[in-house]
Amino acid sequence: MSDDVDKVWVPEQGTSGGAGLLPPENQFCFAIYSAAHAVMRAYRPLLDPLGLTYPQYLVMLALWADGDSTVGGLADRLMLDSSTLTPLLKRLEALGLVDRRRNPANERQLVVSLTQPGRALQEKARAIPEAILCASGRDMADLHRLASEMAKIRDSFAATRQKDPTAEHQDGADDMPGGR
């Protein structure tokens, strides 16, 4: 293991002013944040010729893979709020890449479909995954392993956030046999 890796996640001893605090570069959250920014910078020159932002590209990937989808289905698949997804879809519709229409079976649902130009854009996007793989300096197996690990971390944080913090250790009753 390199010396830089050995230093990550270890609190510095005897720092003044912010004693006990870790510098940003030693924080797990900063590693994820800075890696995400580096990845987005790698995607930008690949997506600009397609006229897409990264979030729009994710929507297109989902539609290319699954075909028609409801807005709710896309929001769930991409882990986006509908308030974030709706403007993305409106922009993709303005670009002529998708159509949004009411579901005849359930008028409350909007169905998103690719247009012909939206389907044709898939061919232009085919080189992006290979370019990202090359830019990563990793092989496909390593990226799949890392993606799997990141998904586990994401799911752990999501599960923690969904817990009701007021239900944990109320007056110590949860620590006692039988609880409340």
Least trusted range by pLDDT, from 7-21, 111-125, 140-154: 7-21
Using N-to-C axis directions, what is the helix angle for 71-78 and 82-94, rounded to 10°? 110
pLDDT band at 171 (very low <50, low <70, confident <90, very high): very low
Mean pLDDT score, 80-91:
94
Sheet containing 98-103, strands listed edge to edge, beginning at the edge strand earlier in sequence: 69-70, 106-114, 98-103
Question: What sign has the CA pseudo-torsion 129, 134, 140, 142?
Answer: negative
Radius of gyration of the CA atoms of the chain, in A? 22
- Helix and strand totals (H; E) in the chain: 8, 3
Neighbours of 74 (CB within 10 A): 21
pTM of structure: 0.77
Least trusted range by pLDDT, from 2-16, 18-32, 86-100, 123-137: 2-16
Assess whether pLDDT exceeds 90 at residue 99. yes
Q: How far apart are CA 122 and CA 63, in angstroms?
A: 10
Q: How far apart are CA 175 and CA 168, in angstroms?
A: 9
Question: What local confidence, expressed as pLDDT, does residue 82 receive?
Answer: 85
Residue ranges of the domains in the chain? 127-158
Question: What local confidence, expressed as pLDDT, does residue 13 receive?
Answer: 52
Q: Which residue has 């020159």 as its token pair? A: 45
